[in-house]
Amino acid sequence: MALLLRRWRYLLLLVALFALLVVQPIASSLGVMQSLFDGLLVLVMAALAQDRVWRVVACLACVLAAALLLGGRWVAPSAEFASQASGHAIGAIFFVAVAVKIVQSIFASREVSVDSIFGAICGFLLLGVAFALTYAMIYEADPASFRTGEFSREQMQQPQFCRNVFVYYSFVTLTTVGYGDLAPISLPARTLSWVEAVTGQLYLAVLIAGLISALFAGASARDHRGG
């Protein structure tokens, strides 16, 4: 099992991320499903961390963010915004930190492997989630920051529903698909949107494309040495 984690740690993280991002919104009506998937992501990230200090920091950050986000359901309305905003801020910082850690680990390795490509994809998805949490924080501070189309104000006031909507918006922006059903209105929302779009294109064009090129170049060099 330890060998599997070392060899395919990013593939396992990618599977957990897809479970969180794809399956969880479908099952969002069941609160226990949300807790299970969040717990799964925490456990996988902690298990994949290569050093003990990072595992402790990862677990503490996830627990604190989860406590703030879930605790907002039971606190007074006046404190709910602060609780939710703090949870989103900590979550966004955590996901960016994990993405940076993954990229650093990839560049520190001696050779590019298929699992390195999976790691780069994980970093891409984690950035999308970090932007989504930041959008949710902006919306909670000023609901007029976004035009939410067919979604009512009452729907967007539900924390999990709001996060799911902005996860969708974030990845549509990150991949520059831009359906137009949700749109940024305020200056902070528009600025963050174009920054995410540029970041996504640079990430795909420079990092992932470069890793794929290095992977094939390394395989070709090994074939020549073997021949």
pLDDT, one tens digit per residue, over 197-211 is 999 999 988 888 888
Calculate mean pLDDT across residues 131-160: 90
pLDDT tens digit string along 66-82? 665 555 554 445 556 66
Q: Is the pLDDT of residue 110 over 50?
A: yes
**Residue closest to 143 by CA, chosen among 156, 126, 133:** 156
The pLDDT assigned to 4 comes to 61
What token pair was written down for 90? Answer: 């900590």
Calculate mean pLDDT across residues 100-115: 84
Among 22-31, 46-55, 180-189, the least confident range: 46-55
The pLDDT assigned to 76 comes to 46
User: To the nearest whole number, what is the mean pLDDT of the chain?
Assistant: 79
- Give SS3 for 147: strand
What token pair was written down for 17? Answer: 């991320």
- Total domain count for the chain? 1
H-helix or E-strand containing 176? none
Question: Which residues span the domain enclosing 48?
Answer: 2-226
The pLDDT assigned to 94 comes to 82
184 and 146 Cβ atoms separated by less than 8 Å: yes
Give residue 115's pLDDT band: very low, low, confident or very high (50, 70, 90). confident
The pLDDT assigned to 158 comes to 84
Classify residue 205 by its DSSP letter.
I
Look up the CATH number of the domain holding residue 132.
1.10.287.70
The pLDDT assigned to 21 comes to 84
How far is residue 57 from each of residues 54, 97, 149, measured CA to CA in Å? Answer: 5, 11, 39
Dihedral angle of Cα 33, 4, 171, 173, to the nearest 10 degrees: 160
Determine the Cα–Cα distance for residues 223 and 219; give it in Å rounded to an integer. Answer: 6
Calculate mean pLDDT across residues 120-139: 93
Residue type, 10: Y
